[in-house]
């Protein structure tokens, strides 16, 4: 069970796109209540559409708070690299519980329900009990479907890859090194005093970590990690003339010629390089182009 809950899972409906989901869900709640008038709302003494609008607005507001604003305040908790099946299930149930609580409080405010400890426990208990099974099954089925899809696609990408440039030349019987070793690049820093110059062929990837850049460089069989203050956007702009360097993710810029193979899980594709254990994630916008980009290597 622990292995199942610790599997990687996509971080969906969190961040900038959350407002669309919140508004859509709120609109659905409004229309559902107006059309079907469940839970005794047909006998409500007053304009039903106003009450339905209140429930819809309450749902939208809670979803925006939980999935739009809270992730900005807790970026480490919502780091995609650490998002798992267990977290997805727990977070979804937490959403259900708080949205239910907000709706209960709104019901009390408009006179549809009363508020006491027994009502609160029953309401939240039934909400979580009813929501647990569909939420858990839904997440598990989605994880299985996405994992199968990206694992199969990664096998196709690997089959179409040309040998990496890192395997082209060997110097003095040492470990293979990139053919582009003679070309140098400079990764700019924020203040200009920490600029890092290194051979293009030795660059593995650049990772953005807050206000800092982590530059991973292959030195023989070892990997050196350089840290400098700067932004990935500025580094990408400075290195834009190097076509083999790809902004593959919002936090990563990778040297395609150092990619050894590709794997896949429910979060998408991951690039495994010829040095170091760290895998580099691939943004979903590149899913369709990844095979083409890697197959185009010399």
- Tell me the CATH number at 274: 2.40.50.1020
Count of domains for the chain: 2
Among 101, 128, 157, give the residue marking a domain's end. 157
For the segment 41-89, what is each residue's pLDDT rounded down to a tens digit? 777 788 888 999 999 999 999 999 999 999 989 988 999 889 999 999 9
Q: 26: number of CA atoms within 13 Å, CB side?
A: 20
- Do 86 and 228 reside in the same domain of the chain? no
Q: How confident is the model at residue 176 (pLDDT cuts 50, 70, 90)?
A: very low
For the segment 203-227, what is each residue's pLDDT rounded down to a tens digit? 999 999 989 999 999 998 899 999 9
- Do 168 and 150 reside in the same domain of the chain? no
Q: How confident is the model at residue 119 (pLDDT cuts 50, 70, 90)?
A: confident
- Do 84 and 192 reside in the same domain of the chain? no
Sign of the torsion formed by the C-alpha atoms of 174, 175, 179 and 182: negative
97 within 8 A of 128, measured Cβ to Cβ: yes
- Do 118 and 165 reside in the same domain of the chain? no
- Do 185 and 243 reside in the same domain of the chain? yes
- Do 142 and 40 reside in the same domain of the chain? yes
- Do 129 and 230 reside in the same domain of the chain? no
283 within 8 A of 250, measured Cβ to Cβ: yes
Among 98, 123, 157, give the residue marking a domain's end. 157
- Do 60 and 152 reside in the same domain of the chain? yes
- End-to-end CA separation in angstroms for the chain: 44
283 within 8 A of 248, measured Cβ to Cβ: yes
- Do 146 and 276 reside in the same domain of the chain? no
Residue span of the structural domain in which 60 resides: 2-157
CA dist 121 → 17, 86, 99, 113, 136 (Å): 33, 24, 15, 14, 22
Among 157, 189, 207, give the residue marking a domain's end. 157
- Do 149 and 174 reside in the same domain of the chain? no
- Do 124 and 189 reside in the same domain of the chain? no
Kindly report the pTM of this predicted structure: 0.82
The pLDDT, as a whole number, for residue 248 is: 96
The pLDDT, as a whole number, for residue 23 is: 92
- Do 94 and 229 reside in the same domain of the chain? no
Mention every residue, 6+ apart, whose C-beta is less than 8 A from residue 274.
164, 166, 167, 176, 218, 258, 259, 260
Mention every residue, 6+ apart, whose C-beta is less than 8 A from residue 285.
none
């Amino acid at each position: 069970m622990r292995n199942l809950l610790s599997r990687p899972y996509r971080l969906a409906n969190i961040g900038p796109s959350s407002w669309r989901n919140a508004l859509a869900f709120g609109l659905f709640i409004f229309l559902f209540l107006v059309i079907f008038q469940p839970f005794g709302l047909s006998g409500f003494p007053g304009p039903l559409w106003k009450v339905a609008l209140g429930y819809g607005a309450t749902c939208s507001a809670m979803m925006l708070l939980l999935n739009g604003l809270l992730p900005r305040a807790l970026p480490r908790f919502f780091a995609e690299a650490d998002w798992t099946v267990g977290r997805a299930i727990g977070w979804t149930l937490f959403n259900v519980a708080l949205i239910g609580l907000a709706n209960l409080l709104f019901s009390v405010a408009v006179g549809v329900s009363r508020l006491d400890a027994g009502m609160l426990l029953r309401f939240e208990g039934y909400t979580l009990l009813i929501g647990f099974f569909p939420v858990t099954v839904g997440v598990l089925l989605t994880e299985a479907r996405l994992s199968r899809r990206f694992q199969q696609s990664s096998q196709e990408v690997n089959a179409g890859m040309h040998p990496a440039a890192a395997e082209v030349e060997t110097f003095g019987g040492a470990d293979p090194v990139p053919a582009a070793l003679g070309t140098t690049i400079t990764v700019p820093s924020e203040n200009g005093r920490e600029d890092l110059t290194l051979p293009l062929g030795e660059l593995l990837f650049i990772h953005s970590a807050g206000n800092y850049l982590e530059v991973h460089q292959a030195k023989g069989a070892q990997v050196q990690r350089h840290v400098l203050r700067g932004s990935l956007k500025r580094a990408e702009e400075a290195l834009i003339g190097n076509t083999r360097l790809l902004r593959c993710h919002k936090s990563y810029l990778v040297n395609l010629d150092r990619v050894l193979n590709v794997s896949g899980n429910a979060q998408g594709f991951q690039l495994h390089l010829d040095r170091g254990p760290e895998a580099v994630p691939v943004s979903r916008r590149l899913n369709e182009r990844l095979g083409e980009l890697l197959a185009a290597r010399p």
